[in-house]
């Protein structure tokens, strides 16, 4: 009966919550200005700029690169004035977006305009689209940005068949970003679940058991997805495509990890009793504390992100906590109910109680009983100091390169891993067209100080052109400054702010897209210094309470800090030299730290929780050896599963997710194979009974068995 009740509840949750998974993209936003705090200068500047310009504008640039297109469109006539406007209107006449004329999506009182490349090799049409009109949800809950971009591209291809056609500009980049995230609730889930299934089949060598574990993970995902969807739809949290992908991966990875631990302990207990209920009860009780501690550590660490100012990081906190909480709940309720179906779920390797005469004792027998991991544990026990010193040396070598990681952000064109259409179109525009400063640095300044601000801006290294606007609003005007090199634009923004702010303290604002990038970097740096200490305190407290030992908690925390530094050092080498990435998102170090410290310490929790049981019986050295041997296989499997699920993020062709996927996957494997296997056990054995201070284990001598 209990199986039916619990299964019925979770099937109902899956039925209701599963529908929200496919609709999650409808409540996400990827607008960078929404992700910054309101008090950021670039955000304040954007609000003031609404008085001067139509910030609702989301123009699309239709690039048709073909000399015949220029002849067909203009016949040698200039593109300035009426000819360019007339041609653009003719080209777009009849173009529809989801059954509506494209003109329905124009900004008020605006018309498209066409102009030629400087070498007459092609033409470009500026289409004045409205962001609010394009982003308005249709009957299916979708916006029209991607549809509008596709319609414009089709119109260009129809005008001159065979021509090189691209849609660039803000609308093109937004559409390509949306298309990149479109695979999150499809291919990402399929890849993650497929990878987990393959690993579980190899671990369990069973047909049914992996399917039960995956069913449990999917049920947990349905619950987490439903909760996050409701919070986002009601406006209580803001989520972007990155948070959506991390939600899916974290639930699947964590739920599978917890399942591996529970199933392994259940299998072990099935070899000691004939009763499935008794075996599961023992396993459930033994696993509850370490699994709950693991989930609590990750959830609390994620909630530390609420202290971040960057909204993309702050709201990832509750999303991650919900994901881990759902994984914990489903792993300790639904999965146990499924395991009560009987020991036959392990078929064809059905565990049965071992004959009484088959039990063996002694160190060598214990090593042999756990195979490879028993032998590894024996080697560590024989040379604990040498083991941890070598492991620490390897980690320190990689950590040396951590400060070289370039995490100052990237340009809009550099966020894609593939050559998206908007990126190619923008390259053509940069090479073939004289557009001037398409993304100027915008200085809002009192009218009386405008010329002085312009003079100061011209004196900044890296500034190419400065113009003073003639539109006066509330006694202020806009001064536009263009950076010579886009790669130096953030530094130019910082330099301009330094010289113009004193002109009228509190009244001068420096905004624009490059100011937005700078504020994102500055906010991310601030979040790094605030959140990391909070996470470390939380992890240290949880470990202390769980292990009843200050020394063990400090050792595990320091080991994971070293592991994180090593991961970032290796990432710096891989990103900057192997793949030659243009840079990393400013939030990558912070999110990498939170995930690696919280998730990485899980495996040490699993190990040291079991060690605490064994030390009480077998002593500080033999107890840790036995714990390492008995948990080695399941913890390694859990680490591989979590690494594989996070690696699945790389299927989304965005630089940020690919970098985060590498950092977490590599870091988790590093924690699993070196920190938990060599460093932590070696330290615990070398320090001996003092590892467990101030608990009773640090004082009570135990007879070696």
Evaluate if residue 278 carries a pLDDT over 90. yes
- How confident is residue 401, by pLDDT bands cut at 50, 70 and 90? very high
Same domain, 536 and 643: yes
Q: What is the mean pLDDT of residues 498-508?
A: 92
Over residues 656-673, the pLDDT tens digits come to 889 999 999 999 999 989
Same domain, 390 and 355: no
Which range (226-230, 243-247, 280-284) has the least confidence? Answer: 243-247
Query: Could you give the maximum distance between any two Cα atoms of the chain, in Å?
Result: 100
Mean pLDDT of 517-521: 86
Lowest mean pLDDT among 184-193, 270-279, 395-404: 184-193
Is the domain of 23 the same as that of 99? Answer: no
> Is 385 found in the same domain as 527?
yes
pLDDT digits 0-9 by tens, 531-542 = 999 999 988 998
CB 217 within 8 A of CB 331: no
Listed in sequence order, the residues at least 6 apart from 35 whose beta carbon sits closer than 8 Å to its beta carbon are 238, 240, 310, 311, 312, 520
pLDDT, position 705? 38
Instruction: Report the pLDDT value the prediction gives residue 700, as an integer from 0 to 100.
Output: 62
| One domain, residues 315 and 393 | no
Spatial distance between the Cα atoms of 545 and 547, rounded to a whole number of angstroms: 6
Same domain, 170 and 225: no
Indicate the average pLDDT of the chain: 86
Split at pLDDT 50, 70, 90, the class of 290 is confident
- 3-class DSSP state for residue 95? coil
Q: How far does Cα 244 stand from its chain's mean position?
A: 9
pLDDT at 436 over 70: no
Q: Which of 359, 384, 415 is the last residue of a domain?
A: 359
Residue 269 in any domain: the answer is yes
pLDDT, greater one: 159 or 74: 159
In a domain, 411, yes or no: yes
Q: What is the CATH number of the domain that holds 429?
A: 3.30.70.260
Q: What is the pLDDT of residue 411?
A: 76
Q: Can you read off the two tokens belonging to residue 698?
A: 């640090």
Please state the pTM of the whole predicted model.
0.85
| Res 78: pLDDT | 59
Mean pLDDT along residues 588-612: 85
Backbone angles phi, psi at 636, to 5 degrees: -65, -40
Please check whether residues 572 and 480 belong to one and the same domain: no
The per-residue pLDDT for range 120-138, each reduced to its tens digit, is 888 999 999 888 888 877 6
> Band of the pLDDT at 704, cuts 50, 70, 90?
very low
Packing angle between helix 620-647 and helix 588-618, nearest 10 degrees?
A: 150
Domain of 680, in residue numbers: 363-423+517-705
Residue 346 lies in a domain: yes
Confidence of residue 359 (pLDDT cuts 50, 70, 90): very low
Asked whether residue 199 is assigned to any structural domain, the reply reads no
Given a cut of 90, whether residue 508 has pLDDT beyond it is: yes
DSSP string, 648-682: GGGGS-BHHHHHHHHHHHHHHHHIIIIIIIIIHHH
pLDDT, tens digit (0-9, with 9 covering 90-100), for 86-119: 888 888 988 999 888 999 899 877 888 888 888 8
Say if CB 429 and CB 401 are below 8 A apart: no
Tens-digit pLDDT profile for residues 205-236:
888 999 999 999 999 999 999 999 999 888 88
In this prediction, residues 413-422 reach a mean pLDDT of 85
Between the alpha carbon of residue 192 and those of residues 195, 245, 257, 652, the distances in Å are 5, 11, 14, 12
More confident residue, 81 or 182: 182
CATH number at residue 248: 1.20.1640.10
Question: How would DSSP label each residue in 519-547?
Answer: HHHHHHHHHHHHHHHHHHHHHHHHHHHHH
The per-residue pLDDT for range 255-265, each reduced to its tens digit, is: 998 998 899 88
What is the pLDDT, as a whole number, of residue 367?
A: 46
Cα separation, 382 vs 389, in Å, equals 14
User: In terms of Cα–Cα distance, which of 234, 226, 295, 296 is closest to 17?
Assistant: 226
Q: Are the C-beta atoms of residues 519 and 46 closer than 8 Å to each other?
A: no
The residue among 160, 179, 198 that closes a domain is: 179
pLDDT over 70 at 139, yes or no: no
Q: 585 and 701: one domain?
A: yes
Distance CA 65, CA 153 (A): 12
Query: In what helix (H) or strand (E) does residue 61 lie, and over which residues does it extend?
Result: strand 60-65
Of 170-184, 450-464, 468-482, which range is least confident? 170-184
Domain boundary among 481, 498, 516: 516
């Amino acid at each position: 009966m209990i199986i039916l009740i619990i299964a019925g509840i979770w099937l109902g949750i899956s039925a209701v919550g599963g529908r929200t998974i496919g609709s999650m993209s409808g409540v996400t936003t990827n607008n960078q200005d929404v992700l910054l705090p309101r008090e950021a200068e670039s955000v304040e500047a954007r609000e003031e700029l609404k008085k001067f310009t139509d910030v609702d504008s989301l123009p699309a640039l239709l690039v048709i690169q073909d000399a015949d297109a220029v002849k067909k469109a203009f016949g040698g006539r200039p593109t300035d004035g009426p000819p360019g406007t007339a041609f653009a209107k003719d080209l777009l006449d009849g173009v529809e977006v989801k059954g509506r004329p494209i003109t329905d999506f124009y900004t008020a009182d605006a018309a498209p305009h066409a102009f030629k490349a400087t070498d007459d090799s092609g033409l470009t049409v500026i289409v004045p689209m409205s962001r609010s009109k394009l982003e308005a949800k249709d009957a299916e809950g979708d916006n029209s940005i991607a549809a509008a971009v596709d319609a414009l591209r089709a119109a260009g291809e129809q005008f001159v068949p065979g021509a090189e056609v691209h849609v660039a500009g803000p609308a093109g980049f937004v559409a390509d970003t949306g298309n990149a995230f479109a695979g999150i609730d499809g291919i990402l889930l399929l890849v993650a679940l497929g990878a987990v299934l393959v690993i579980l089949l190899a671990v369990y060598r069973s047909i049914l058991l992996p399917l039960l574990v995956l069913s449990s993970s999917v049920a947990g995902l349905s619950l987490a997805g439903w909760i996050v969807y409701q919070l986002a739809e009601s406006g209580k949290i803001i989520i972007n495509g990155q948070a959506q992908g991390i939600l899916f991966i974290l639930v699947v990875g964590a739920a599978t990890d917890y399942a591996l631990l529970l199933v392994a302990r259940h299998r072990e207990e099935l070899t000691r009793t004939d009763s499935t209920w008794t075996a599961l009860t023992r396993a459930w009780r033994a696993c509850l504390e370490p699994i709950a501690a693991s989930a609590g550590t990750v959830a609390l660490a994620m909630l530390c992100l609420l202290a971040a100012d960057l909204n993309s990081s702050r709201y990832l906190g509750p999303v991650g906590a919900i994901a881990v909480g759902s994984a914990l709940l489903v792993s300790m309720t639904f999965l146990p109910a499924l395991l009560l179906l009987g020991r036959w779920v392990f078929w064809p390797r059905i565990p049965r109680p071992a004959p009484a005469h088959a039990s063996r004792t002694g160190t060598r027998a214990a090593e042999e009983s756990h195979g490879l991991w028993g032998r590894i544990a024996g080697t560590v026990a024989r040379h604990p100091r040498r083991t941890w010193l070598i492991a620490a040396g390897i980690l320190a070598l990689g950590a040396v390169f951590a400060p070289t990681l370039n995490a100052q952000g990237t340009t809009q064109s550099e966020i894609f891993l593939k050559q998206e259409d908007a990126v190619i179109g923008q390259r053509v525009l940069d090479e073939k067209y004289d557009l001037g400063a398409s993304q100027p640095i915008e200085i809002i300044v009192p009218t009386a100080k405008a010329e002085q601000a312009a003079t100061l801006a011209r004196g900044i290294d890296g500034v190419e052109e400065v113009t003073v606007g003639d539109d006066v609003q509330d006694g202020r005007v806009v001064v536009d400054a263009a950076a010579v090199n886009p790669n130096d634009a953030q530094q130019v923004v910082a330099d301009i702010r330094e010289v113009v702010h004193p002109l009228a303290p509190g009244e001068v604002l420096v905004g624009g897209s490059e100011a937005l990038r700078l504020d994102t970097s500055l906010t991310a740096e601030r979040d790094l210094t605030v959140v990391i200490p909070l996470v470390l305190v939380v992890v240290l407290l949880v470990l202390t309470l769980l292990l009843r030992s200050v020394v063990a908690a400090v050792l595990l925390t320091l080991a994971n800090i070293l592991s994180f530094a090593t991961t970032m050092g290796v990432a710096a080498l891989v990103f900057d030299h192997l793949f030659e990435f243009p840079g990393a998102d400013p939030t990558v170090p912070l999110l990498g730290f939170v995930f690696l410290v919280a998730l990485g310490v899980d495996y040490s929790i699993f190990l040291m929780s079991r060690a605490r049981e064994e030390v009480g019986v077998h002593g500080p050295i033999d107890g840790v050896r036995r714990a390492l041997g008995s948990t080695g296989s399941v913890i390694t499997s859990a680490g591989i599963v979590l690494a594989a699920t996070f690696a699945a993020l790389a299927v989304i062709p965005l630089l940020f997710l690919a970098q985060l996927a590498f950092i977490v996957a590599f870091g988790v494997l590093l924690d699993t194979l070196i920190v938990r296997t060599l460093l932590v056990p070696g330290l615990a054995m070398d320090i001996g009974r003092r590892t467990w201070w101030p608990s009773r284990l640090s004082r009570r001598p135990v007879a070696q068995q």
